[in-house]
Amino acid sequence: MALTTEPTIEESAGLPSASRRRAVPSRRRGLLSSGWTKGAGLVGAAGVLVLLVFASVAYGSKSIPLGVVLEALLDHDPTDNDHLIVRSLRIPRTLIGVGVGVALGLAGAVMQGVTRNPLADPGIFGVEAGAALAVVVGIYVFGIGTLTGYVWFAFFGAGVASVVVYGLGSVGRGGATPVKLALAGAAMAALLSSVTSAILIVDVTSLDQFRFWAVGSLAGRDAAIAGQVAPFIVVGVLLALASGRGLNALALGDDVAVSLGERVQRTRLLSALAVIVCSGAAVAAAGPIGFIGLTVPHVARAICGPDYRWIMPWSLVLAPSLLLAADVVGRIVARPGELQVGIVTAFIGAPFFVFLVRRRKLAEL
């Protein structure tokens, strides 16, 4: 092994040197091992995302040629039906899809980093269970029946539930440790969903409305909803990206992280805040789509290895791609109706996910 601190030729070309390659156990590396390929791959993935954005605007129960889409954007004619569809339906829906995807992907990655648990999704903070309970209470007690009405209830429920979970997980000796957070969240989520199902069992009318919210969908989301959640998604994404470096330190374990100068509790609080804001906004906009937050970070980890500075951008690109692809497919296969995005996401994503898990030597958390 070379003892010099000078970078070797391989290293300056972005390739890991022989010594570093040996230092990293093979199971901890991803599909792409050098900085160049990871960066290039990321750019390619972003290109795919852009294509999907166009597809999402163009395809649906009525296909609209790309030329007309551009026309609707640049030279809007309010009397043209196609232009109206593009402007008032497809574009808000696509924007919400991208925003929700980004938020869920990042929230999932941060969540798994904070709890160091491959099973931790944003739902583990009780976000989805809290939002669901609040929406059901909104329907049952206040007779709310519109999507715009659901948004604030969902947001309120998600916020309260996750703050309570973080509070409970921090009580006692040692502050907020991963195991305590995960268990407190699981317990809280179970508690809240019990109350939800109790209401649904007692009141059939609530169940009738709620079951359509509960699958997770982008259908009928308009510019008003996009406006309601956009600020939260922006703040959440910034918080999440800021916590990436700290998560690398946390991944080494609390003791090592502390000795490396990381302020563990502060990082954990910042990350938790990011998860809460991101996933709260996502669930408010589109209902519970838990699968994306749970699996996309695993896919990212399989591609680029355990470094959160790479996992975050990869999750940020992959998650909205999966969501938009699922949404477009859901609109095409069941024309003139549509399949909810929550259903299609799992159906497209899960086989691919299982394949990936089988094939790769896994980069563990």
Partner 1 sequence: MRTVLPTDGTVVLRSDRLGISTRVHTRSVAVSIAVATVAAGVFAWSITVGDFPIPLVDVLSYLVGRGTEDADFIIGTLRLPRGLTALLVGAAFGLSGAIFQRIAHNPLASPDIIGINAGAAAAAVFVIVVIGGTSLQVTSGALVGATVTALAIYLLAYRKGVTGYRLVLVGIGITAMLGSVTSYLLTRAEIFDAQRAVVWLTGSLNARSWDHVRPIGVALLVLVPCAVGLARHLRLLEMGDDAARGLGTRVEVARGSLLLTGVALAAVATASAGPIAFVALVAPQIARRLTGGRTLALVPAALCGSLLLVGSDLLARRLFAPTELPVGVFTAILGAPYLLYLLARANKIGSGG
Does residue 173 belong to the site contacting partner 1 (CB under 8 A)? yes
Long-range contacts of 37-42 (CB under 8 A, 24+ apart): 38/303, 38/304, 38/310, 38/314, 41/303, 41/304, 42/313, 42/314, 42/317
Residue 14 sits in the site that holds partner 1 (CB under 8 A): no
Using DSSP, state whether 96 is helix, strand or coil.
helix
- For the record, the structure tokens of 78 come out as 């309010």
184 versus 270: smaller Cβ distance to partner 1: 184
Q: In the 8-state DSSP scheme, what is residue 87?
A: I
Q: Which residue of 112, 162, 267, 345 would you call a contact of partner 1, by CB under 8 A?
A: 345
DSSP label of 336: T
Q: How far is the CB of 30 from partner 1 (least distance, A)?
A: 15
Neighbours of 73 (CB within 10 A): 13
Cβ partners under 8 Å of residue 362, min gap 6 = 27, 302
Binding to partner 1 by residue 354, rule CB under 8 A?
yes
Q: Annotate each residue in 101-120 with x if it binds partner 1 (CB under 8 A) or - if it does not, as one string.
A: ----------------xxxx
Site string for partner 1, 293-322 (x = CB under 8 A): -xx--x------------------------
In this chain, which stretch among 4-12, 70-78, 180-188, 277-285 interacts with partner 1, using CB under 8 A?
Answer: 180-188
Task: For the chain, state the CA radius of gyration.
Answer: 22
Shortest spacing between CB 207 and partner 1, in angstroms: 6
Q: Which is nearer to partner 1, 145 or 172 (CB)?
A: 172
As a whole number of angstroms, the distance between CA 127 and CA 113 comes to: 17
Please report whether residue 160 would count as binding partner 1 according to CB under 8 A.
Answer: no
Interface with partner 1 in residues 185-244 (CB under 8 A): 186-188, 190-191, 193-195, 197-198, 200-202, 204, 207-208, 211-212, 214-215
Q: Which stretch binds partner 1 (CB under 8 A): 74-82, 143-151, 182-190, 230-238?
A: 182-190
168 contributes a contact to partner 1 by CB under 8 A: yes
CA 13 – CA 176 distance, rounded (Å)? 41
CB 192 within 8 A of CB 126: yes
Distances (CA, A) of 281 to 213, 313, 333: 15, 19, 28
* Distance of alpha carbon 188 from alpha carbon 164, whole angstroms: 9
Give the interface with partner 1 as residue ranges (CB under 8 A).
117-120, 124, 168-169, 171-174, 177, 179-180, 182-184, 186-188, 190-191, 193-195, 197-198, 200-202, 204, 207-208, 211-212, 214-215, 290-291, 294-295, 298, 339-340, 342-347, 349-351, 353-354, 357-358, 362, 364
